[in-house]
Amino acid sequence: MTSYAFYRSVTDQSRQSVFFEAWGVPDTIGGRFDMLIAHAILLFRRLKKIEGARAEEAAVRSQAFSDLMFKDLDRALRETGVSDRNVPKRLKTLATAYLGRGQAFGEALDSGDEKALAEAIERNAGGIVFGADKAPSADEPSSYTVNALALARYLQAADKTLADQDDDAVLDGELVWPMNPHHVAA
């Protein structure tokens, strides 16, 4: 089923070591969630661009992927010890984070401005992704800013890589991501 191919591709790509080892994304539940969501946003953006006779199919597959992703997040929360009573609250928080990031990242990706995307990353995921308590000052860029810029460049490249793929291949779950995220962001 395509939703499983989508999910496997998104999770595999979101676990690339460069995110955690070079760009300061903590190898924690929060950091992994942020990378999963960033890649899911890119896939959802690509599926929404499919038009014509296959647009409805893309919408159905997009929803199936979303359902699978949140079902797996539900399972993961339970496995980490979140009580049955608190799982729905946590899922609502995660869904809200996803929707907010989807809008902010989408607008920044549409603008083509890597600094706007880096700012959206810092604003929406910075505390979780980079472990920062506050945004860096404009006078001295911190590693937080450098990491956000690297991630922004990578997300732009991944968005373009997905956009350049054939609709049929995408709908079949044959997703291609940038092979070396570290090289893309340099």
pLDDT tens, position by position, 10-27: 999 999 999 888 888 888
Q: Is 86 helix (H, G, I), strand (E, B) or coil?
A: coil
Q: Which helix (H) or strand (E) holds 163?
A: helix 143-163
Rg of the Cα trace of the chain? 16
Q: Report the predicted TM-score, pTM, of the whole model to 2 decimal places.
A: 0.87
For the chain, the domains span 2-185
At 76-93, the pLDDT tens digits run: 999 999 999 999 999 999
At position 39, the amino acid (one-letter code) is: H
pLDDT at 125: 72
> First CA to last CA across the chain, in angstroms?
36
Question: Stretch 116-134: mean pLDDT, rounded?
Answer: 69
- Contact (Cβ atoms closer than 8 angstroms) between residue 47 and residue 61: yes
